[in-house]
Amino acid sequence: MPVSTFTAAWHIAPTAISTFFSHSKRRLRNNHDPEEARDDIFFEEAFEIVKSFIQFGTLNTVESLQKFTNTHVPSPYWAAVVPVSIPLSTCNAAADTLIDWFGPDELSAVVGGEKWWQIRGLEGIDAEWITQKHYLNDVKLDRKISDDDEATIVKMECLERVMLYVHGGGYFWGSINTHRYQLIRYSRKFEGRVFAVNYRKAPQYPWPCPLQDVIAAYLYLIRPPPGAVHKPVPPSKIVLAGDSAGGGLCISALSVFRDMNIPLPAGAVLISPWVDLTHSFPSVMKNTHSDIIPVHGFMAKPSTLWPIDLVGEDRVRATQNAPPPEPGHADQLRPTKARMDGESEDGPNAAGSPNTKKADADDDDIDLWEPRPPKVQMSDSDDVPLELHSQIQLYATNEQLTHPLVSPVLQGSLGNLPPLYIIAGDGEVLRDEIVYLAHRAAHPQKYPTRKGALRDAHRQQENAKLFTEPTKVHLQVYDDMCHVLTVFTFTESAKHAYRQIGSFVKHVTNPSHPEDCPFPQPQVSAVDEKKPTAEQPRMIRQRVDIKGKLREMEPVDEMEVLRISPGQIGIIKEKPTLRWFEGQSEWDKKYRRNAAKAQKKRESNSEKARKIIAHAREQGLVHASDGVGSQAEVETPDSASLHETGGVIEKERRWGPLDLEDESPPPSAIAKRTDTASSFYLLIPKTLLMGEQIEALALLKKHIYHTAPATHRTIPKLKLSDAVKAAFDPNDDPSKPPKQSAAEAQVHTSMGLHGMRIWDVLLGYFTRKSTEKASNGKKAIKRAVSK
């Protein structure tokens, strides 16, 4: 069953009920144990509900989860929310920035080209201005504006501080709608406005598509295009913020801004940022029991979209001997010393040779002999290494996982960035990479990037030498908390985090603030009341207990994660790989019939795409590559038998799916795919239609008939027979563009109560009850003291 409000409630309800009873029993058994976060019934219920929902998502297709979490949900009455669209002109400016950053060689060998990731179905990027409505009540406009939304945006100009928020969701699900309740709260805490961006999602729009959209959102703020209502926002008044995948995108975007001399924002808030997609840090294996992330990662029910290889044969297998790879491909696990010196005449050693012991290698050797994806580093160096034959992350291919804009923990330098406030939960699987990232930023020289990541990356080599100034970092690790603790707004830990974020934004956007320290200092326990001065280290390292009280973090030399050799970071390793393989094998077996059906649909869809293109040619489609000089020279069918679609050729839309013959996008990218679901055009049962999405064929048809790129010379005109046929197809209206993928476009529904709205209401209930509980506890203490 697809993800919906009903199916989610059906799946989660047993978990909520069982948690209620198990919590009471556990509290009775452990009555004298030290207090922990899950002793609070409301937190434990919310934790299990979120964990159950994410697990439920893995039992459904990627498209189904995307559709549910990108469904438009109306904002509450007390919030001022205005939707806007970041135009193609700004998207093009962001693309030019990335093209310059990559350079031609990297664009070709690593990214797969410069065109495919610029293709989008919408006419821009969905975004929203968000703030508290009462901030605008007394604002008077100096001119009359008839449009209410425009008037609201103009009124928001009175709020100088702007948070550019990038939501999380594993790079493939989530939206502004899943996070709006948090964003409204942020705007209240720092007394400003939030600009939230609904970037494109993987796997339909993999890396670097989301990164381009985040860069475009920032450029939209500081350099408004013609037609934008807002005035330019000074970078000194902007704070970048994001959670999980959004946090990773933020740090990657900051690196691009720094490298390309784009004015940096005042600071950044990174909430549980996902910065190592190779899963090379220990907490990924240790903290699964205390986190909301599924044990095996983000699995999915097979569909025409994902996984790429539907029939799972030899997804992971022992490495076999092979000659040296071609440029841009994966290397052997252990090249010979002679090959490393460029003197080999006999070829490489066998990849599984046990002659070299890991214990015999120093750090430099580890960097030289490290495996590159899709090779897997084994726990026992004598074991024959494994190699991956399936893509393990939805966001990027295995070969791209070690790129510094995919896994920013591998940046050549994290110095010279604006001040960072970084949050981690002590119980989350990403804890170690977050802690390591924070220390790398604050101490660029002490925590260098592994040499293997720099070897072929000339820009990163330059960055390591150029950007040596420590970044100001405020790191806080929260006891007993899981991934993205700000989701649980009613907990004392989350309340503390929201206050800290609000204070941080105020500090970095207001240099004249009376506080001496570079970062906000909340209420602390009596022993920690001393505030740091400007002469103290540029990094603040703290732990936060479940009551929101601070204590100093343990010394660096006592932290296991900070003793890891740089050569072991950003490496795909055996244990995480086998755990993923175990889960994927279970899904392959469980959904083998679904995979077989999806494979047949792919073949059918590919044939349908071929017919769409051929039919469009018959209707007058002419592409720039055809060599026709102008539209007037094109021969078209008799105009009396043609039907206009209302389409236009958009000069700002540079490329379309027909422009990618010389490019090699990742296999999941729908820009060049023709085999993903196209239920919009097929008369299929309604129950199946609910679970399918419009993907590559919808994108193709929109670029041919409705909003063609500049490379098209004509818009095809439908024959009369086509128009008549469409009139009898409820899923095909030739006068309207087809709905685009939920990986990009919000889904609108007539349902009065959506699951995300229910979650918002539930959080409100937990907040009220937690407040009452705390208030009753204080009253009880006062009564006891008075006696």
Write a three-state SS string for 163-175: EEEECCCCCCCCC
Output the six-digit token pair for 231: 């005035």
Question: Could you tell me whether strands 420-425 and 473-478 are parallel, antiparallel, or unpaired per DSSP bridges?
Answer: parallel
Q: Which conformational region is residue 519 in: left (phi greater than 0), alpha (psi within -120 to 50 degrees), or beta?
A: beta
Mean pLDDT in consecutive groups of 10 residues from the start of the chain, 787 residues: 86 91 78 78 92 95 95 92 98 98 95 97 97 92 88 96 98 96 96 98 97 99 97 98 98 98 98 98 97 96 94 82 44 43 40 40 45 75 88 96 97 98 98 98 95 87 96 98 96 96 96 53 42 59 96 96 95 95 95 94 88 87 74 46 70 94 94 64 30 65 90 85 67 75 88 74 75 58 54
Peptide bond just before 210 cis, omega within 30 deg? no
Residues 473 and 481: beta-carbon distance below 8 Å: no
Question: Could you tell me whether strands 316-318 and 162-166 are parallel, antiparallel, or unpaired per DSSP bridges?
Answer: unpaired
What's phi and psi for 387, nearest 5 deg?
Answer: -135, 150
Q: Which residues contact 526 (CB under 8 A, 6 or more apart)?
A: none
Sheet of strand 386-388: strand arrangement: 316-318, 386-388, 375-376
Q: Residue 522 CB: number of other CB atoms within 10 A?
A: 15
Q: Which of 52, 64, 187, 244 is catalytic?
A: 244
Burial (Cβ within 10 Å: 0-12, 13-18, ≥19) of residue 109:
middle
Quick one: which of 605, 734, 670, 712 has its CA closest to 120?
Answer: 670
Residues 663 and 116: beta-carbon distance below 8 Å: yes
Output the six-digit token pair for 764: 């409100």
Largest CA distance in the chain: 98
Query: Residue written as tokens 């000659």?
Result: 323
Cα separation, 95 vs 547, whole angstroms: 45
Cα separation, 467 vs 260, whole angstroms: 13
Sign of CA dihedral 758, 762, 768, 771: negative
Q: What is the CATH number of domain 79-278+403-525?
A: 3.40.50.1820
Stated length of the chain: 787
Tell me the sheet residues that pair with 242.
Answer: 166, 270
630 as an active site residue: the answer is no
Give the CA-trace dihedral at 248, 225, 234, 408, to 10 degrees: 10
Burial (Cβ within 10 Å: 0-12, 13-18, ≥19) of residue 176:
buried
Tell me the sheet residues that pair with 625.
Answer: none
- Print burial letters for 47-71: b (CB count within 10 Å at least 16), e (below 16): bbbbbbbbbbbbbbbbbbbbbbbbb
pLDDT of residue 777: 52
- Alpha-carbon distances, residue 214 vs 252, 270, 517, 787 (angstroms): 10, 15, 30, 59
Sign of CA dihedral 450, 455, 458, 462: positive
Quick one: which of 420, 414, 417 has its CA closest to 504?
Answer: 420
Residues 292 and 54: beta-carbon distance below 8 Å: yes
Output the six-digit token pair for 332: 């052997």
Q: Amino acid letter at 564?
A: I
Residues 460 and 412: beta-carbon distance below 8 Å: yes
Per DSSP, the residues of 63-104 read HHHHHHHTB--PPPTTEEEEEEEEEHHHHHHHHHHHHHHHHH
Question: Could you tell me whether strands 718-719 and 642-643 are parallel, antiparallel, or unpaired per DSSP bridges?
Answer: antiparallel
Cα separation, 574 vs 426, whole angstroms: 24
Output the six-digit token pair for 695: 């993907």
How far apart are the two ends of the chain, measured CA to CA in Å?
A: 59
Q: 3-state SS of the chain: helix, strand, coil percent to 5?
A: 45, 10, 45
Output the six-digit token pair for 182: 């948090």
Output the six-digit token pair for 684: 């299929």
Query: Residue written as tokens 């960097």?
Result: 367
Query: Residue written as tokens 């203490």?
Result: 781
pLDDT of residue 329: 42
What's phi and psi for 274, nearest 5 deg?
Answer: -90, 105
Cα separation, 177 vs 170, whole angstroms: 16
Domain residue limits, the chain: 5-69+754-786, 79-278+403-525, 592-727
Per DSSP, the residues of 211-244 read HHHHHHHHHHHHSPPTT-SSPPPPGGGEEEEEET
Residues 386 and 317: beta-carbon distance below 8 Å: yes
Residues 430 and 271: beta-carbon distance below 8 Å: no
Specify the 3-state DSSP secondary structure of 267: strand
- Alpha-carbon distances, residue 150 vs 16, 164, 234 (angstroms): 43, 19, 20
Cα separation, 427 vs 485, whole angstroms: 10
Q: Residue 25 CB: number of other CB atoms within 10 A?
A: 9
This prediction's pTM: 0.89
Residues 690 and 725: beta-carbon distance below 8 Å: no
Residues 541 and 550: beta-carbon distance below 8 Å: no
Cα separation, 593 vs 50, whole angstroms: 29
Specify the 3-state DSSP secondary structure of 489: coil
Peptide bond just before 203 cis, omega within 30 deg? yes
Cα separation, 105 vs 677, whole angstroms: 33
- Alpha-carbon distances, residue 582 vs 76, 219, 292 (angstroms): 43, 43, 19
Tell me the sheet residues that pair with 473.
Answer: 420, 539
Residues 434 and 272: beta-carbon distance below 8 Å: yes
- DSSP E strand boundaries for 545-587: 550-552
Q: Amino acid letter at 354?
A: P
Quick one: which of 185, 5, 89, 54 has its CA closest to 650?
Answer: 89
pLDDT of residue 529: 39
